Amino acid sequence: MNSTTYSLGINLYKLLIKAAAPFNDKASMMIEGRKDWQPNLKSKIPNDSRKKIWFHCASLGEFEQARPVIERINRDETFIIVTFFSPSGYEVRKNYDKADLITYLPFDTKSNAKSFIDIINPDLVLFTKYEFWHFFLSELNNRNIPTALFSAIFRPNQSFFKKSGEFFRNMLRCFSLIYVQNEDSRLLLSNIGINNVEIAGDTRFDRVIDTCNSVSEIDLIKKFKGNFKLLMVGSSWPEDIKALSLFFNHLPPDVKVVIAPHEISEKSITELTTQLPSKSIRFTKTDANSYIPDEERFLIIDNFGMLASAYQYGDIAFVGGAFKDGLHNILEAATFGMPVLFGDKNYKKFNEAILLIDENAAFPVGNSNETNEILQKLFADDQNRKSISSKSYKFVRENKGATETILKYIQKVLN
């Protein structure tokens, strides 16, 4: 790989996204959201003495890692810019009121990188966890603009660590400082000669603790649960529901289920309801003041932004994604103290999943039989379940503090 082949790949990707846009909502949003980005951006950048800090987040999960840092920065003295690559991040958080400007990151071409950085002229740049854009990082490096990566985690199979990975290693060399989550990541970087690295942990621990400490009641879920035990199914895909199907068909009489699917289109919700063994109610179509009979055992959360707070009512969580491309955020559940289950396929690149398994507070499952067996035992044994819940709660709090490390770096650079 070199700059020429990388440029060809980016341009081909743009063409494919444009071709898909008439038929695919996500592709359409990626194109529409970047239209006329230069004049739009110029009109929103202030001409004042505030220091400009640019945070880049690939999508919604990375934004949640940036969020505890953003929310502790003094807004009177700074202008905060947040960019997203993916519509699943931008469309959900485009009205976030703790940043001054939220926009899409233009596609990574040499001219786009130069123009974008010319316009925003940042004093400090912070990339969250991953997503490495060659031309943007090269331009920042050439201008000696302090650029840090935080909450990063690395694995041996990534391109940086292959013999043919010099092009990718050069991207890492553009960072002034890299904050990693663990010692394994630090050692991997050290082995390729990158030593401007510090272990800081994962800012998501601070974020989920903040959520737990400031959570508001959700009247409908509280009423739905009543005196029942509750299984929270978060960010589920059809594959996750399939793994839960046997348990759903043998639901203990004292258990109810709340499901927050990853996709909430009308088609997806309809398909989900057909997979359930009995009638379900939908959050957006149910009044919190209405009567909810005990026979109603399934509640579907069919809106965005509620899941992290909804976990407060859970006794056990099943978090989706691991049967597909990757596990979703299990810390949102763990912070409230509960056992966490997830698929056994794509979870090993998530450090918190490995650590929670080591604590015997998380359980990967491969099929509906395994899922049913573990859930039946956990719901039947209150003492064991509460013991595991305490481990989960304690684990999250033992790993807090990454945010303070990043804030000290920001203060050092800006002062």
> Is 370 considered catalytic here?
no
d(CA 285, CA 306): 15
Beta carbons of 318 and 234 less than 8 angstroms apart: yes
Q: Which of 62, 131, 332, 352 is catalytic?
A: 62
Token digits for 35? 């239209």
- 325 conformational bin, left if phi > 0, alpha if psi -120 to 50, beta if neither: alpha
What is the DSSP secondary-structure string of 377-394?
A: HHHH-HHHHHHHHHHHHH
- 258 secondary structure, DSSP code: E
Task: Give the helix, strand, coil percentages of the chain, each rounded to 5.
Answer: 45, 15, 35
Beta carbons of 277 and 225 less than 8 angstroms apart: no
What Rg do the C-alpha atoms of the chain give, in angstroms?
22
Beta carbons of 146 and 74 less than 8 angstroms apart: no
Give the CA diameter of the chain.
65
Closest-CA residue to 137 (of 94, 185, 105): 105
Beta carbons of 356 and 395 less than 8 angstroms apart: yes
Half-sphere exposure of 247 (CA within 13 A, CB side): 27
Burial class (CB in 10 A: 0-12, 13-18, 19+), 108: buried
d(CA 7, CA 135): 9
Token digits for 225? 């649960």
The catalytic residues are: 62
